[in-house]
């Protein structure tokens, strides 16, 4: 069993245990993301942008993408340009206001991403089989709560 800093036995669900496992999982996902980015001539941030566009519940705009990623306008423009040149996204002017641009994941790129990340989906499914539906419901609630909490965290100003 893990121990806390004061050498008393720590609970298997203490903060340190969560931190270690979340870092490890994040590291493994980042390894896959960096591989995808490298294979497609992209930056890791570009892959984060693709995920944000894919997961968005409403049409993604460059402004919303900038806010989501915490980048400057220029950095988002460069990112969107790279993604468009590589065929991963397309810019669409869908509004009566022609200044509004929506970013859409290109169908061919979505297929390529699905193929590349299929091992991640398979690993997720294999892990899911180890849990009951009730346990999975709790896991999803935890992951949702973590995302909500992390969305509220502001990086320290340098």
Q: Tens digits of per-residue pLDDT, 1-54?
A: 444 455 555 677 889 999 999 999 999 999 999 999 999 999 999 999 999 999
pLDDT tens for each residue of 85-104: 999 999 998 767 778 899 99
Find the Cα–Cα–Cα–Cα dihedral 69, 75, 78, 80, rounded to 10°: 20
Task: Express each pLDDT in 66-88 by its tens digit.
Answer: 999 999 999 999 999 999 999 99
Dump pLDDT digits (tens) for 96-144: 777 889 999 998 898 889 999 999 999 999 999 999 999 999 999 999 9
CB 90 within 8 A of CB 104: yes
Q: Give residue 102's Cα distance to chain centre.
A: 19
Above 70 in pLDDT, residue 158?
no
pLDDT at residue 53, as a whole number: 95
pLDDT, greater one: 46 or 156: 46
Q: Cβ(49)–Cβ(57) under 8 Å?
A: no
Largest distance between two CA atoms of the chain: 64
Q: What is the pLDDT of residue 4?
A: 47
pLDDT recorded at residue 149:
94
Instruction: Encode burial over 63-87: b for 16+ CB neighbours within 10 A, e otherwise.
Output: ebbbebbebeeeebeebbebbeeee
Residues linked to residue 84 through DSSP beta bridges, in sequence order: none
Predicted local confidence at residue 5, as pLDDT: 54
The backbone torsions φ and ψ at residue 120, rounded to the nearest 5 degrees and listed phi first, read -65, -40
Q: Which pTM does this prediction carry?
A: 0.79
What is the C-alpha separation between 45 and 71, in angstroms, rounded?
10
Q: Residue 3: beta bridge partners?
A: 9
Distance CA 2, CA 21 (A): 13
């Amino acid at each position: 069993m893990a121990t806390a800093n004061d050498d008393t036995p720590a609970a298997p669900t203490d903060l340190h245990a969560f931190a270690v496992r979340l870092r490890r999982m994040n590291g493994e996902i980042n390894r896959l993301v960096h591989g995808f980015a490298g294979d497609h001539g992209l930056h890791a941030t570009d892959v984060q942008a693709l995920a944000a566009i894919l997961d968005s519940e409403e049409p993604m705009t460059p402004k919303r993408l900038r806010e989501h990623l915490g980048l400057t306008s220029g950095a988002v423009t460069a990112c969107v340009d790279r993604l468009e040149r590589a065929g991963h996204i397309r810019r669409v002017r869908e509004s009566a206001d022609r200044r509004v641009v929506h970013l859409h994941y290109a169908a061919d790129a979505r297929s390529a991403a699905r193929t590349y990340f299929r091992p991640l989906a398979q690993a997720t499914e294999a892990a899911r089989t180890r849990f009951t539906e009730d346990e999975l419901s709790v896991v999803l609630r935890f992951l949702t709560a973590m995302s909500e909490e992390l969305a509220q965290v502001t990086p320290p100003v340098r």
